[in-house]
Amino acid sequence: MSKAIENIIWHPSPNFDERDTDTPVDMLILHYTGMKTGAEAIERLRDPDAKVSAHYVVEEDGRIFALVKEEMRAWHAGVSSWRGSQNINARSIGIEIVNPGHEFGYRAFPKVQMDAVTALAAHIVARHPIPARNVVGHSDVAPHRKEDPGELFDWQELARCGVGLWVRGKSSSHHKIAPLASNDKGSAVSDLQGALKEFGYDLPQDGHYGAELAGVICAFQRHWRPSKVDGVADEQTQEIIYALLEEVRRLT
Ligand SMILES: [Zn+2]
């Protein structure tokens, strides 16, 4: 077991309640703290007035703090949705990764921090029935409100270590992909919305490329095509969407 896991620091928060006994823990949600310092973030996550928390906080130096027991419900997701469920706190474990975020100076996650997150996440998915497709970012479950953990987080490395999904290469079923962007309409837009919806995102399937679809595409890109986050469903973005969908269909 990694040093980071062996040395988890118990730092309890009062911000939790009971999980429903009939809801399995089948999601892992990653966040960034989005505050100037880790200490400030931890203080807020332990402040009874703030009414927010997470199970874990991972500092930039790799220290892991446990704030809420995994068997309890922490309050990290807010209004959110994944695969038709809005009950995200009830079914998930939340990890806050210390980073000032887009508001206060978004910066690279240091390797020692990334290694700690990876070890912790692997340790969590080994002990709960969390499928790879349910390891997602806050921005995936709340695409119009949240950007965390953001495009600098190394989801590819996490997947390489066995946590979450990462695919590259063309899907077999989709022969011709035309780029789609804001204000486009029609069946190709509707197909794209249907694919994102089946994969997990909450969005209407109305065949119209409006702000809502653009926001979901941004969230998708932050996670699975981080080199360019622009809300445009270019050929590569769509290829990855359809390839991921094939992968999750294969796995279920
Ligand atoms: Zn968050």
Between the CA of 241 and the centroid of ligand 1 the distance, in Å, is 23
pTM: predicted TM-score of the whole model, two decimal places? 0.97
> Strands 56-58 and 92-97, how do they pair?
parallel
Q: What is the pLDDT of residue 129?
A: 97
Domain boundary among 144, 160, 176: 160
Kindly state whether residues 151 and 192 are assigned to the same domain: no
Between the CA of 32 and the centroid of ligand 1 the distance, in Å, is 6
Q: What is the CATH number of the domain that holds 237?
A: 1.10.101.10
Kindly state whether residues 98 and 11 are assigned to the same domain: yes
Cis peptide before 149 (omega within 30 of 0): yes
Kindly state whether residues 75 and 156 are assigned to the same domain: yes
Between the CA of 138 and the centroid of ligand 1 the distance, in Å, is 5
> The domain containing residue 207 runs over which residues?
187-251
Kindly state whether residues 212 and 136 are assigned to the same domain: no
Count of domains observed in the chain: 2
Q: For residue 174, is it within any domain?
A: no
Q: What is the pLDDT of residue 176?
A: 77
Average confidence (pLDDT) per 10 residues, the chain, 252 residues: 88 96 94 98 98 98 98 97 97 98 98 98 98 98 98 98 91 77 96 98 98 98 98 96 95 83
Q: For residue 165, is it within any domain?
A: no
Between the CA of 73 and the centroid of ligand 1 the distance, in Å, is 15
Scored b (16 or more CB within 10 A) or e, 2-38 reads: eebeeeeeebebebbeebeeeeebebbbbbbbbbeeb
Active site residue 96: yes
Kindly state whether residues 56 and 155 are assigned to the same domain: yes
Domain boundary among 160, 179, 204: 160
Kindly state whether residues 114 and 49 are assigned to the same domain: yes
Kindly state whether residues 144 and 31 are assigned to the same domain: yes
Q: For residue 69, is it within any domain?
A: yes
Between the CA of 169 and the centroid of ligand 1 the distance, in Å, is 30
Q: For residue 227, is it within any domain?
A: yes
Between the CA of 238 and the centroid of ligand 1 the distance, in Å, is 26
Active-site annotation holder among 60, 96, 147, 239 = 96
Between the CA of 181 and the centroid of ligand 1 the distance, in Å, is 27
Q: What is the pLDDT of residue 173?
A: 65
Kindly state whether residues 111 and 76 are assigned to the same domain: yes
Kindly state whether residues 98 and 141 are assigned to the same domain: yes
Q: For residue 101, is it within any domain?
A: yes
Alpha-carbon distance 54 to 74, whole Å? 5
Kindly state whether residues 38 and 98 are assigned to the same domain: yes
Q: What is the CATH number of the domain that holds 27?
A: 3.40.80.10
Kindly state whether residues 232 and 137 are assigned to the same domain: no
Report helix, strand or coil for 182: coil
Domain boundary among 106, 125, 160: 160
Between the CA of 117 and the centroid of ligand 1 the distance, in Å, is 15
Alpha-carbon distance 122 to 135, whole Å? 11
Kindly state whether residues 149 and 241 are assigned to the same domain: no
Between the CA of 187 and the centroid of ligand 1 the distance, in Å, is 33
Q: What is the pLDDT of residue 174?
A: 58
Q: For residue 222, is it within any domain?
A: yes
User: Comparing C-alpha atoms, which of 132, 14, 5, 136 is closest to residue 58?
Assistant: 5
Q: For residue 179, is it within any domain?
A: no
